[in-house]
Structure formats: C-alpha cells, structure tokens
Structure 1
Amino acid sequence: MELYMQKNKQNNIFDDINIILDSTIEGIIIIEKGFIVNVNDSLIQILEYKTKDELIGNLATGVLIPSTTEKFIEYNRHIFQEVTLVSNNGDLIPAIIKIKDIKLKNNNYKVVSILDLREFKQKEMLLFKQSRLAAMGEMISMIAHQWRQPLSAIGSVVSRLKFKLATNKIDKEDLNEKLNEVNNYLQYMSKTIDDFRNFFKDDKQKEFLDLNETINNAISMLKPTLESHNIILDKQNIALSKILAYKNEVIQVILNVLNNAIDAIIENEIKEGKITITLEEKNNYQRVYIKDNAGGVPKEIINRIFEPYFSTKINKNGTGLGLHMCKIILEKHLNGTIDVKNEKNAACFIIEFKI
C-alpha cells in the first residue's frame, strides 16, 4: 500500500512537468537511486521505443553505457560528457549528456539531458573526408614538385643520347652510364609514389613513433616546395620518448601546419622565408613548435582559424578544413591539442601529444 502511494505521488509530480519535458528537443531521463522514473517523448524517439512504460522502472545503466575513461566534447562552446546509448534494437548511439541534481517533494533525483550525436558524427566524418580530398589535391601538387626535376633530367639525358646516336659518337660505356643515371631518377620517382601512397592508407592501429622521424617524413614531402620558394626550414633534433599514435594522422597534422606556414610566407611575399621547428618533452607531454616569419596571424582572426570552412586563402581556393582537421585529429584520435600564438612578428603553432 505504501509503495503504491509513493508511486502514485511520483506520478502526480511528473504529470505536472511532462508537458515541459515533452517540449524539449533533447532527450531527458529522470533517475532516482539508479532507476528510471520518467522520460520524455524525445528520448523515446531517440531510443526507438513505443511508450515510456518500456523504460520506466529499469536501471539507467541499461540505456546509458558509461565509458571506461571519461570523455568530454565541446559543443557550442560548452563542455559535455560523451556517452553511448543503447537503442531498443540494440544499436549503439553516440550522445552527449549533462547531469543535474534536483529535489522534488523531499526526494532526490538526477535529471539527465541527452543530445543525439549521430548527425553531428556524420557531419564530422564528412568534414574528415573533405579534408582528405583537399589534402590529396595538395599531395598531387607535391608529387609534381618532386617529379619536375627528375623528369627534366631524364629528358635531358634522352636528348643527349639521341644526339650521340645520330652522330655515331656513343660507346657502350657511355650508354651504360646514361642508362644508370635514368634508372636512378626512376627509382627516386618510384619511391616518391610509395611515400605518398602510404600516406593515404588508413591506419588500422597505432604504433610507437619517434616524433623526430615522423616530422622528417613530412618535411621530405615538402622539400621541393620549400626549395622552389627559397624557404629555409630549420628543425631541432632532440632525444624523445616514443609515442603511441597513428603515423599517417601525425604526418597529416604536420603537413597541414607546414603548408599553412609556407602559404603565409608566399602570400606575404617574404623574401627570406624561414620556418623553425623545435621540440620539447616535459611532464608526460611532447610539444612541437612550428614558427614562421610571415608576420603572424591577424588579431581579428586568430581565434577563428581552427573553425571549419574558415580560410584566409581566397586566391588559392582554400577549403578552410586543414587547420580544423588538425584540431579534430589531435583531439579525437591522438589525445593531443593544437594552439597558435603570435611571437615577435611570427606565428607559432604548438602541437601537443601526450606520452
């Protein structure tokens, strides 16, 4: 009898607020002592149930799966906890939640506000794919730079051989030397293709990386671009612990930041362009500082350069995805961060990895 009266009392309380709860776009669960005592219509739709009665009285952990490590996400400049929901069909649904303790009629409850992240995650994946396509376009340009000199050299060798053949002034030793020279150029071009092809492979698992070597891999892809624009790149080499990370994603981050620095130097017509890379290991973190001498980031946009589709490269058809994807890759996949600041007429990007 007492249990019936207590349940009836709860129903009266929630009858008064159901209209408010059902007017919200986010799902809401009200929990008492670990059990669900009320939900709103939005949550029923998210979890694909037919009625509230299918959820009320069940343990909240049957719907909300707590992660082994706490995850948080920034959404509209607010921080929320990221969790997984279990739908009526057993599907896993990514979501963010916010928990608030309330007291009604001397009873303590927890109100859990839930936002379905499926659409958000789909858009994030689309951004990632668009970023990869933009990176592919840049890679094709880099390959063109890498191949221009050896192709020119091969053309020159072939022209000289044709001339000597036409004048009967070629011997076996000279021919063999020229063929070896052509073969060396072809081997270099083949290695270039392998380097870029490996970059576009999806990393299946993390591996232990030496950040020095990984950064050097990125620099080697940009070497012809740097040389063609007379940009000096000065990199510090220090002993570092190995970090567990996806190699290609680290390279993508470094390439994006370096390309951004190169573009800034070119667009600002810096005659003696210079990029410096310094490394630091401290307090279980490794930091990469990439600084250019292009004049720094304008104050009015420095807080926006990591936003999606924000680009200053109007004349270069910039997608505005490069730096944004650096932020996404670091925060979501590499347990890292990226920031930027101006230092004495220079922009300095700070990339941080947790060891």
Structure 2
Amino acid sequence: MFKQIFLLLVSIFLSLNATPLVQINSDELKLKNFSLEYYVDKSNNQTLKEITNQEFKQGVSGLSLGNHENSTWLRFKLKNTTAKNKTIYLHSELAYLTNKIEFYELKNKKLLHTKIIDFINSDYDSNFVYATDALFKISLKKNETKTIYIKNYMRTVQVMNYTLYDEYNSKQRLSKKNIYIILSVGMLLALAIYHLILYLSTRYREYLYYTLYLGSSVLWMSQISGLLATEFEFYYTREHEYYLLFLMFVPIFISLFTKKIFNMPQNYKIENTLLNSVILLFSLSFLIGLYDVILSMYLATLFIIYMFLSLFIVALSMFLKNEPLAFTFLIANSFFSSFALLTDLFYMGVLEYSSFVFNAASIGVLIESILLAFILSYRIKLLQKSELEKSQELISQIQTSREKDKLLFQQNKMVSMGEMIENIAHQWRQPLSQINSSVLLIDDYLYQHSLQNATVEKELSDIESLTTYLSTTIDSFRNFFDPNKKHTHFDLKDIIENALLISNSSTPTNDIDVKISINGKYRYYGLEDELQQVLIILLNNAKDVLINRNIPNPTISIYITNDDKYYMIKVCDNAGGIDEELMDKIFEPYFTTKHKTQGTGLGLYISKLIIEENMLGQIEALNKDDGACFNIKFPLNESKN
C-alpha cells in the first residue's frame, strides 16, 4: 500500500517536472498558446548540449520576458498519436521582431535537424521566412515523439508567439493579411495627409502637430504590427533597430498637440509644465537611443507609463476647470492610455501574448486619433471665429479712422471754403454798393426831371431787391461756414414766401402754378437764412425741370405739417419724377444732370449739409405719381402759435 502511494507521488513529481508534451491526435492541427518550458541564457553563448542539462521553467508559447533578457531557450515535446505520418509546421509569428532564431529537432537526445535564421546578418533561407513568420518543418511518424529546442535572440525585448499548424492551416496563416492593421494604418495615413494639406494652407500649428503625431504613430504601428515585414520584408538588422526610436515621437507630438490645442502656456501653466516633462523625458530617451537602443527602449517602457498618467491628470484637471473640450479629450486619452497600457505591460513581461493585447495600442491610437480630429476641428472653428472677429474689429477701426480722416478733411475743406467765401464777399461788396448807388441816382434823376414811370420804377425796385438778396446770400454763405452761427426766431410761412419771392425774381416762372398749403403759423428757432437758402435751391430745381421737360400745367406744391416731435416741409412738382438709377446720387457733391453752364451739382449737397448738420434733421427725395417730392424733416423746438 505505501509502496503504491510512493510510486504515485514520484510519478506526479516527475510529471510536474517533465518536458511539456504536445500530442497530435487529429488530422487537422491549429494549435495556439500551448505549454512549453523556457530557460534564460544570461551569457548568450550556451550550446545546445549545455542547455539540455539546465533547469527550465514552465511557460506558454505566447511568451514575454520584457527587456531584461536577450537570449531565451524554449523546449517542448511533440508526439504523433494518430495512425498516419504527419508533417507539422512550427511558426514563429513574431519573427520580424527577432534578431536570430535557432531550431533544433531531437529524438532520444540525438540531434536530427537544425535550422538557423539570422536576421542580423541577413543569413536565412527565404523558403523558411514568409512575411512576419519564420517556419520550421517537423516530420513525425505514427506514434513517434520528438523534442524541439528553440533559441530566441533579441537585443531589445524578449517577446515571442509560437504556433503549430498542419500544412493546410500553415498556408492559410501565411496567406492571410492583417486587414485590421492595413485599414487602421490607411485611415491614420489619410488623416495625416489631409491635415498636412490643411497646415500648408492655413499654417495653424495645431494641424502640424496632429499630422506629426499621426505620422509617427503610422510608422510605429507599421513596424510593431509586422506590416513592414509583410509588405517590405523589413526585419531586424542592427541598422533597423533605430527604427524603434520612432516610438519616442508619439508621446512628444501628442504632448505638443495638447499644449497647443488648449493654449496651455497661457491658460494652464501647471498642466503645461507636466507635459513639458513628458516631452523632455522622451527627447532624452531618443538621444540615448542614438547611442544605445537597448537602454532607450528600456527607459521608454517606463516613461510611457509616466506619459499615460500625466495625460490623464492633465485631461482630468482641465475637465474639472470646465474647459469645453476637456471631456472629449479625457475620453480620447482614456481609450489610448488603457489600450496602450495593455501592450506596454506585455512588452514588460507582465501579460501573456494574445492578439488583442498585442494590438491594443494600435486600437487605442486609432480611437484617440478620431476623437482628437473632432477636437481639432472644433478648436480651429473657434480660432477662425476669433480671427474673424479681430478682422472685423480691425476693419471697424480702419473705417472709424477713415471717417475721422474724412471729417478732418471736410473740416479743412469747410475752412478753405469759408476763406474763399470771405474773399468773394469782399469782392462783391463794392460792385453791389455801386449798383445800389446807381439805382438811387437813376431814381433821383427821374424824380428831378419828372420822368417817373411805373414800369421803370418797378424794374429799379427789382434790381434793388436782387442786390439786397445777393448781399444777404453772401452773408448766408459766410454764416454757413461760421461755427458761431446766429439763431433767430422766425415763422416758417414767412421763410417760404421770401424764398418764392427771391426765386421768382431770379428765375422766370413760365406760368408755373405754385400752391402753398399752410394752416396757421409755425414758429421755429434756428438758422433762418440757411433754411431759406435750402428752399430757394429746391424751388429753382423744380422750376428748371418743369421748364426743361415742357410739362403742361406745371405745378409746384409746398406743404408744412408737424407732429409732437418734428416739422415737415414738402416741396413737390409734377415733372415726372427722378430716374430711380440716379436717386442715390442726387445728394452727392458735383453731381448734376444739367449742362455745366447751368449748374455745379452743389445745391442739393449743400442743402443736405444744412438740414442734417446744422438743423439735425433729414432731407430725402421720393417719387410720387406725377413727379418728385423733397421732404425736409427737422426737430420741433418752438411750439405752434
């Protein structure tokens, strides 16, 4: 009884320490993640004979030992339990990450076959290396058992994934493309090109940093996923090891992008300092890698965890400070950090190999890139809106400056015109005085010689009235340019009648019917001469157009109305109206439809200045059924009597 128990315990102990046995018991073989043993050769130069006597540790075919070791031996047994001879294909599915692989096939401790694939020196048979995989073909007779040794050598991190296939499944494995990686890299590359074009057209650095982040991510993903090995037969020689340094640019450019997109130097100084430390660490790791790639990659695996933590703290801090885009950035960063951490832990030897764990970082980069594109688009819209507002403000300032310049020019022009009118007045005074003196002499001569004639006396009276008007007009113009104009109380009806009298004296009536509609007296306190001048200009213009167009039954109608705030004077005619195309130009200086001998185009312009600047009113021209109306509207400052 005790003997049987002892033998059972010995059997169990031996089975626990025995080399793992993989049994082939069916025609189809597609075996992943099977049990094996591993031994770390710290000297990197132990032979197969020396290894067979070493103590191996239990492991699995998807194995990661981090970047502490360079050379690892694997061992397992294969037994064909079927009734047929079998050909087994052993795949190293991460061969593109490996510097050198040695396969050894033994039976009863006797070496049968050896295959060495040396990527460092490009010494390998292309029939045994395809895309990402290295192959070792094993033949097993029925019930035959063989022991397989594999030496896996890498100068950076010890990661491996070995699988067993029959011939059909081996071909299926080699014929399959990693569609996910191709699509992911294609999407990131398209985003990078698109945002590079945007940068070249706008020069926003946000686009540049995002493009560089995507570009470095594409290069890193293409290398780590095996896409370069599949499409370009890119394997690890010593020169190719420097390609790993592209990993350093991913955290550098994502940090620069984050700093710029949230304007951190101005808005978030503490968070900005934290991201600066991330940039500094990975820049240092890159510089170290130029001399020692192994040390650089070892440091990078530690710095990446620091980067994850820093970006998360930054995103959370901005979210708590109510930054509008911080929540989306926090989600994007959480995806990237969580997924990439899984891959990083695999490379550190903490997690075992699985397809998801191995590609998790690529998934995180893709999700983050899409969310960052949304953040970037929103940020640029805000930036463009801000720049548009600044441009509009600048335009407004320019317009204000131009208005000031225009006002200054107008003031200077008014001063010049005032000086000119003063000179004209001085020149006109003497001739007008002489005309009046001549009128008095003629009148006195006629009286002394008893030659009085009603017609002559009337003409002499008209001449005197005209000279008085001319003198008054000169005074009006002088007052117009005088900043200290004299305001008086006057009746609007009297102003209209005086304007008619002067207009009739200076321009023939041609039987024009003038109708005045005024009920009562309208008192006003203001610039009497200037308002009278405006009315004379409007009356003369109306008479001219009626005569020139030969209108039958020509009529000029004048109205005065008021409400609680304004007086309204209307001067209308039945001359057919103003051409609509000219309506917006009639108040412009020097615009006229008359011949240059008949007008200067300043009448309505001066009228507009008088009404709007000196009387704080409005003047406008409108067409009615049979003619045009000029409406003068100005504030009521004296009650109706």
**Structure 2 length as normaliser, TM-score?**
0.31
Decide whether aligned partners of structure 1 residues 227 and 236 sit closer, same or farther in structure 2, where only a CA change above 3 A counts.
farther
| 1:198-217 paired onto structure 2 within 5 Å | 198-202=475-479, 204-217=485-498
Decide whether aligned partners of structure 1 residues 213 and 183 sit closer, same or farther in structure 2, where only a CA change above 3 A counts.
closer
| 1:141-152 paired onto structure 2 within 5 Å | none
Q: CA deviation at 1:221?
A: 1.5
CA distance in 1, matches of 2:572, 2:459: 38
CA distance in 2, matches of 1:22, 1:259: 48
Q: CA deviation at 1:265?
A: 1.4
Q: Which runs of 5+ in 1 are unaligned?
A: 1-7, 11-15, 29-41, 43-95, 97-113, 138-147, 162-170
CA distance in 2, matches of 1:23, 1:182: 66
SS of structure 2 residue aligned to 1:303 = coil
Q: What do residues 74-132 of structure 1 show as CA deviations (whole Å, max 9, x unaligned)?
A: xxxxxxxxxxxxxxxxxxxxxx8xxxxxxxxxxxxxxxxx5353421134346767998
Counterpart selection for 1:338 from 595, 619, 623: 619
Q: CA deviation at 1:184?
A: 6.4
What is the letter of the counterpart of residue 333 of structure 1?
A: N
1:117 aligns with 2:398: no
Decide whether aligned partners of structure 1 residues 183 and 214 sit closer, same or farther in structure 2, where only a CA change above 3 A counts.
closer
User: Does the 8 Å contact 2:486/2:527 carry over to 1?
Assistant: yes
Decide whether aligned partners of structure 1 residues 115 and 211 sit closer, same or farther in structure 2, where only a CA change above 3 A counts.
same
Counterpart selection for 2:549 from 268, 289, 308: 268
What is the letter of the counterpart of residue 195 of structure 1?
A: T
CA distance in 1, matches of 2:553, 2:408: 43
Decide whether aligned partners of structure 1 residues 126 and 311 sit closer, same or farther in structure 2, where only a CA change above 3 A counts.
farther
Decide whether aligned partners of structure 1 residues 177 and 267 sit closer, same or farther in structure 2, where only a CA change above 3 A counts.
closer
1:254 aligns with 2:535: yes
Counterpart selection for 2:609 from 324, 328, 331: 328
Q: Which runs of 5+ in 2 are unaligned?
A: 1-265, 269-382, 425-434, 637-641
What is the letter of the counterpart of residue 318 of structure 1?
A: G
CA distance in 2, matches of 1:341, 1:255: 19
SS of structure 2 residue aligned to 1:309 = coil
Decide whether aligned partners of structure 1 residues 9 and 217 sit closer, same or farther in structure 2, where only a CA change above 3 A counts.
farther
Q: Which has the higher strand share?
A: 1
Decide whether aligned partners of structure 1 residues 287 and 128 sit closer, same or farther in structure 2, where only a CA change above 3 A counts.
farther
Decide whether aligned partners of structure 1 residues 254 and 122 sit closer, same or farther in structure 2, where only a CA change above 3 A counts.
farther
Aligned to 1:196: 473
Counterpart selection for 2:450 from 174, 181, 189: 174
SS of structure 1 residue aligned to 2:500 = helix
SS of structure 1 residue aligned to 2:619 = strand
Higher relative contact order (CA 8 A, sep 6+): 1
SS of structure 2 residue aligned to 1:308 = coil
User: Does the 8 Å contact 1:310/1:319 carry over to 2?
Assistant: yes
CA distance in 2, matches of 1:23, 1:304: 28
Q: Which has the higher helix share?
A: 2
What is the letter of the counterpart of residue 204 of structure 1?
A: K
What is the letter of the counterpart of residue 344 of structure 1?
A: D
Q: CA deviation at 1:314?
A: 3.5
Q: CA deviation at 1:303?
A: 3.0
What is the letter of the counterpart of residue 320 of structure 1?
A: G
Decide whether aligned partners of structure 1 residues 274 and 115 sit closer, same or farther in structure 2, where only a CA change above 3 A counts.
same
CA distance in 1, matches of 2:608, 2:620: 9
What is the letter of the counterpart of residue 619 of structure 2?
A: I
User: Does the 8 Å contact 1:243/1:354 carry over to 2?
Assistant: no
User: Does the 8 Å contact 1:330/1:338 carry over to 2?
Assistant: yes
1:235 aligns with 2:492: no
Aligned to 1:86: none
| 1:79-158 paired onto structure 2 within 5 Å | 114-115=400-401, 117-125=403-411
Decide whether aligned partners of structure 1 residues 172 and 313 sit closer, same or farther in structure 2, where only a CA change above 3 A counts.
closer
CA distance in 2, matches of 1:129, 1:345: 41
Decide whether aligned partners of structure 1 residues 21 and 263 sit closer, same or farther in structure 2, where only a CA change above 3 A counts.
same
Q: What do residues 206-264 of structure 1 show as CA deviations (whole Å, max 9, x unaligned)?
A: 33332111222222211124435333322233224422322222122212222221221
User: Does the 8 Å contact 1:337/1:352 carry over to 2?
Assistant: yes
User: Does the 8 Å contact 1:289/1:348 carry over to 2?
Assistant: yes
Decide whether aligned partners of structure 1 residues 298 and 25 sit closer, same or farther in structure 2, where only a CA change above 3 A counts.
same
Decide whether aligned partners of structure 1 residues 175 and 333 sit closer, same or farther in structure 2, where only a CA change above 3 A counts.
closer
| 1:59-78 paired onto structure 2 within 5 Å | none
CA distance in 1, matches of 2:415, 2:602: 10
CA distance in 2, matches of 1:272, 1:157: 42
User: Does the 8 Å contact 1:226/1:232 carry over to 2?
Assistant: no
SS of structure 1 residue aligned to 2:590 = coil
SS of structure 1 residue aligned to 2:450 = helix
Decide whether aligned partners of structure 1 residues 312 and 184 sit closer, same or farther in structure 2, where only a CA change above 3 A counts.
closer
- Count residues in correspondence: 242
Aligned to 1:281: 562
Q: CA deviation at 1:306?
A: 2.1
**Backbone CA RMSD of aligned residues:** 5.0
SS of structure 2 residue aligned to 1:229 = coil
Counterpart selection for 2:632 from 346, 351, 354: 351
SS of structure 1 residue aligned to 2:504 = helix
Decide whether aligned partners of structure 1 residues 303 and 155 sit closer, same or farther in structure 2, where only a CA change above 3 A counts.
same
Aligned to 1:104: none
Decide whether aligned partners of structure 1 residues 22 and 340 sit closer, same or farther in structure 2, where only a CA change above 3 A counts.
closer
Q: What do residues 130-173 of structure 1 show as CA deviations (whole Å, max 9, x unaligned)?
A: 99889x99xxxxxxxxxx9xx99x98997xx7xxxxxxxxx967
SS of structure 2 residue aligned to 1:300 = helix
User: Does the 8 Å contact 2:443/2:457 carry over to 1?
Assistant: no
User: Does the 8 Å contact 1:157/1:182 carry over to 2?
Assistant: no
